[in-house]
Amino acid sequence: SDLIIDVGVAEEACPMGIVPTASTTAMLAMGDALAVVLINKKHFKSSDFKRYHPGGMLGQRLSMSVSDMMLTGNAVPVVPESATMREAIAEIDRIGLGVVLIVKPDNRLAGIITDGDLRRCIAGEKPVVQLGIEEVMTSEPRTLGIEVPAYDALNLMEKYEITVLPITDDDGKIRGVLHLHDILGKGEFKFNGN
């Protein structure tokens, strides 16, 4: 090589000056900096980690998509736009996810009602069952596509403090629902690395 990067330190941090402390930290920082430069220069993407490290923790995290974990069919809490609040609450209770998806006649997502929405309504003046679905639902909830990596779904849920996400196709039609516990319960995201 024609280039030398000196990451030497004037002295180690330990009182005796002999235990590698500051020097190991300097090397670690330089290694991280070089790795980031190469990631940017080579346009390395998460899919590259998945391909080159399929057996590692990062590769495993990236190998599962939303479609591998989402609930489908009768496990998805749905009611039509024409449903009453009583029917919507019954569906929330039947499935037990704390939400119900409101669907248009063509199976496109119209909105979502959560337990939190119901609590806010109960605190209001009008009885919940006398409200219309459109008065309670969030009409443009956050959604995900079926091929989104589960790791990205988890990050989105944490960022916006969401426990359930509707999964839709490109036309906005409901394909399933993803609960935070379905991601964490798959064993791919371990907190202690064991």
- State which H helix or E strand residue 175 sits in: strand 174-179
Task: Give the confidence band of 191 by pLDDT, cuts at 50, 70, 90.
Answer: very low
Beta carbons of 112 and 141 less than 8 angstroms apart: yes
Mean pLDDT within 74-82: 97
How is the chain split among helix, strand and coil, in percent rounded to 5? 45, 15, 40
Q: Which of 2-6, 38-42, 60-64 has the lowest mean pLDDT?
A: 60-64
pLDDT of residue 60: 66
Q: What is the mean pLDDT of the chain?
A: 88
- For residue 78, give the 3-state DSSP assignment: strand
Position 136: which residue type? V
pLDDT for residue 177: 98
Say what the pTM is.
0.69
DSSP helix/strand/coil, 69: helix
* pLDDT, tens digit (0-9, with 9 covering 90-100), for 93-144: 999 999 999 999 999 999 999 999 999 998 888 889 899 999 999 999 999 9
